[in-house]
């Protein structure tokens, strides 16, 4: 598989208030490859370095040691920064703080306008991006009148219109209600499947991570677990050791199994859980 983002033995620390105050390493030697077209979720407790990992992808942060490569371009080289930002788009946590214009379609056009694209082409891209996230009928709305989930979809459309190969989302659902969360997750999944856009999503909701092809768990600035969701979440002990909880569906079947009922314990989603419980009850 072709790699789109490569972390090569990366370390990073934030600057302290003064020279004598040196903060510990936030990222402490991470080597990781993100494959083109994949959907990877990054999990970890607060302070595990997951947000920092996201910000290393498009040169917001530069590694103290090691290298971050985006399609082979080193983020620490000044001349690469703009090229990298054309390849990797970023969606942040707070939808209010990333919308620039007072009208939805103008905001989506902001990125392509910065790239100096022809007006007709921008129009085409904006319409296409808004349709892809299901916000086309809101194209003339004012952002502050939208719900959180809708604003976040507008932010995603803004990145889509730049036609980046990869979208990095830094806890995009943390400030949303459950409906908004579902909207955003469904949009991201669809873009990954239908358009082959690589997705790197930082989250602290296990139910969201379950939907990815790959789950990376960080702890103390290191990769703690890395694998497909089923492998990662059935490793209950390890998950709990780094301060996370397994998805509710997994926890339930595990508890049932512990109390002596014979049931599958590698379930991840609600549907699988229902199926497993029915099977354990002898009802297909």
Partner 1 sequence: MRDLTIGQYYPGQSLLHKTDPRVKIILTLVFIFIIFFCKNFFSLGLMVAALLAGVLLSRVPLKMMLKSMRAITFIIIITALLNLFYSTGGKVLVSFKFFKITDTGVYTAIFVAVRIMALIVGSTLLTYTTTPTMLTDAIERLLKPLKLFHVPVHTLAMMMTLALRFIPTLMEEIDKIMNAQKARGADLESGGLMQRAKALVPILIPLFVSSFRRAYELAFAMECRCYTGGEGRTRMKQMKLKGLDSVLIVGCAVLLGGVIALNIFFKAFNVG
Taking every pair of Cα atoms in the chain, the longest distance, rounded to a whole number of angstroms, is 67
Place of tokens 């989250």: 203
- Does 58 engage in binding with partner 1 (CB under 8 A)? yes
* Binding window for partner 1 (CB under 8 A); candidates: 37-45, 66-74, 155-163, 219-227: 155-163
- Does 201 engage in binding with partner 1 (CB under 8 A)? no
CB of 104 to partner 1, least distance (A): 11
- Does 85 engage in binding with partner 1 (CB under 8 A)? yes
Distance from C-alpha of 219 to C-alpha of 228, rounded to nearest angstrom: 18
Of 75, 6, 38, 26, give the one whose Cα is nearest residue 198: 38
Considering the complex, state which of residue 60 and residue 280 has its C-beta at the smaller distance from partner 1: 60
- Does 179 engage in binding with partner 1 (CB under 8 A)? no
Considering the complex, state which of residue 91 and residue 185 has its C-beta at the smaller distance from partner 1: 91
Applying the rule CB under 8 A, the residues between 114 and 133 that interact with partner 1 are 114-119, 122-123, 126
# chain residues binding partner 1, by CB under 8 A: 40
Of 262, 264, 224, 227, give the one whose Cα is nearest residue 244: 224
* Binding window for partner 1 (CB under 8 A); candidates: 41-49, 131-139, 140-148, 188-196: 140-148
CB of 96 to partner 1, least distance (A): 5
**DSSP state letters, 161-183:** TTT-SEEEEESTTTTS-HHHHHH
C-beta contacts of 106-110 below 8 A and 24+ residues apart: 107/143, 107/154, 107/158, 108/139, 108/154, 108/157, 108/158, 108/161, 109/161, 110/158
- Does 144 engage in binding with partner 1 (CB under 8 A)? yes
Q: In the set 7, 12, 39, 92, which binds partner 1 (CB under 8 A)?
A: 92
Residues 6+ positions from 131 with CB-CB distance below 8 Å: none
- Does 103 engage in binding with partner 1 (CB under 8 A)? yes
Classify residue 128 by its DSSP letter.
H
Residue numbers at the binding site for partner 1 (CB under 8 A): 58, 60, 82, 85-86, 89-90, 92, 94, 96-103, 105-106, 109-119, 122-123, 126, 142-145, 158-159, 162
């Amino acid at each position: 598989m072709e790699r789109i983002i490569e972390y090569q033995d990366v370390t990073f620390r934030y600057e302290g208030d003064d020279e004598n105050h040196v903060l510990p390493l936030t990222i402490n030697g991470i080597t990781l490859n993100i494959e083109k077209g994949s959907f990877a979720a990054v999990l970890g407790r607060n302070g595990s370095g997951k947000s920092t990992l996201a910000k290393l992808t498009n040169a917001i942060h530069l590694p103290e040691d090691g290298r971050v490569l985006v399609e082979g371009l080193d983020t620490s080289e000044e001349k690469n920064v703009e090229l990298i930002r054309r390849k990797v788009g970023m969606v942040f946590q707070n939808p209010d703080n990333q919308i620039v214009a007072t009208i939805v379609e103008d905001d989506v056009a902001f990125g392509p306008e910065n790239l100096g694209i022809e007006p007709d082409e921008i129009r085409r891209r904006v319409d296409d991006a808004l349709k892809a996230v299901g916000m086309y009928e809101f194209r003339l709305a004012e952002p502050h009148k939208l719900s959180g989930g809708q604003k976040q979809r507008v932010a995603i459309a803004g990145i889509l219109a730049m036609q980046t190969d990869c979208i990095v989302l830094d806890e995009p659902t943390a400030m949303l209600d459950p409906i908004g969360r579902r909207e955003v997750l469904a949009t991201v999944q669809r873009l990954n499947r239908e358009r082959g856009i690589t997705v790197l999503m930082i989250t602290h909701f296990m139910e969201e991570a379950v939907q990815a092809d790959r789950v990376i768990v960080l702890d103390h600035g290191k990769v703690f677990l890395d694998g497909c969701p089923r492998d990662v979440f059935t490793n209950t002990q390890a998950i709990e050791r780094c301060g996370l909880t397994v998805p509710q569906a997994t926890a339930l079947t595990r508890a049932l199994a512990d109390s002596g009922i014979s049931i599958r314990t590698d379930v991840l989603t609600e549907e699988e859980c229902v199926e497993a419980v029915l099977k354990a009850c002898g009802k297909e």
